Amino acid sequence: MRRPLHTMIVMGTRPEVMKLAPVALALQAKPSQFRVTLVGTGQHRSLVPQHLKLFGLQLDHDLKVMKPRQTLAEITSRTMMRMDQLLAAEPPEVLMVEGDTTAVLVAGLAAFYRRIPVAHVEAGLRSGDIYNPFPEEINRRLVGGLAEVHFSPTDQAKRNLRRENVAADRIFVTGNTAIDALLYAAQRPPRRPALPARVLAGRRLVLVTAHRRESWDQGIRQICLALGDLAARFPDVVIVYAVHPNPIVRETAEEVLSGRERVHLIPPPGYAEFVDLMKRCYMILTDSGGIQEEAPCLGKPVLVMRRTTERIEGVRAGCAELVGPGRERIVARASALLTDRSLYQRMAAPRNPYGDGKAALRIRAALAYHFGLSRRRPADFHP
């Protein structure tokens, strides 16, 4: 009888934890087939443990690569050295990564150097611009070049990989595990609300996240100025900005928005608490990739404050709009949603091209099939 497939799952940021936790749980539910090792890189150190706890998970290894204000080159070199040391000491049969962070690229490259197969979750997303988002677009292209098996969330992502000559038999369309995590968390009430109910009494909540590296120069400032404009223009609106802990983002947000009436700057809440905010909000302004996937499931319109998006399916479905990081455009389109009821209702109709909550099960089945634990290839996800 074949021993369980040793699968090492690498996660560092909050989005990686949320998208890989359902996969870890699905693999752990089949101990005769899979042995799971969870590795953290040390990014989002204050956030990762609480998010893992929601799923009843904990890390087996923490690479502790993060230091304040370090450069991408420093992150890359520290992650490579520590990941290589771990792979030498405890080599898995497959290394699983998710998404497009620098740590994902480096962990995949370290595994490739040791001839360990790489499985890429959320494979095939492309914006078409190597500098937007930066450095994520080039990270995922490079991971796509070295991965052995690709778990694409949508048919569009699969088509992107096929155009890059990835063999069709190595691509599985699974849906996005972000929806698995969202549905899991939505069933669990938060320990305490991220915002007291009295703050929202009789008002509409506009929920905001903004942290992209390509916006660090002027984009974050423009976004914050737009939020101030919206708060001044709409007395019935409360703006809640979950501020990323990066010092550049936090300092800009505090400089521009501290003390503004009906603007609340909060630290990133736990995932259950954030899902609760999404459920209660009127609309979402974000530059996050994951939230673009989650919000349509809850019937919340999304304005994407980026120049490009690799998640074009939501835009095509009409539940998201690409507005960029400019102050005037953000204010104009948010104002339209806050004043035009028919526009709002068109964007808010619940529909989700990204998943059905069963992506982790499809990934487990695909992993078993690809590595010879099962003879049956799982069917692809179609919305």
Enzyme catalytic residues: 100, 122, 136, 211, 213, 244
DSSP 258: T
Q: Is the peptide bond before 378 cis (omega within 30 degrees of 0)?
A: no
Q: Other CB atoms closer than 10 Å to residue 340's CB: what's the count?
A: 11
CA distances from 206 to 299, 323, 378 (A): 14, 16, 40
SS (H, E, C) 77-131: HHHHHHHHHHHHHCCCCEEEEECCCHHHHHHHHHHHHCCCCEEEECCCCCCCECC
**How do beta strands 302-304 and 320-322 pair?**
parallel
What are 121's two structure tokens? 């979750």
Give CA–CA dist 58/55, Å, rounded: 9
Locate all alpha helices (DSSP H) within the chain, ordered by sequence. 14-28, 48-54, 72-89, 102-113, 136-146, 155-163, 177-186, 197-200, 219-233, 247-257, 271-280, 289-294, 312-317, 327-339, 341-348, 359-370
Give CA–CA dist 130/128, Å, rounded: 6
* Cα angle 60, 63, 65; round to 5: 155
CB contact at 8 A, 65 and 82: yes
CB contact at 8 A, 72 and 288: no
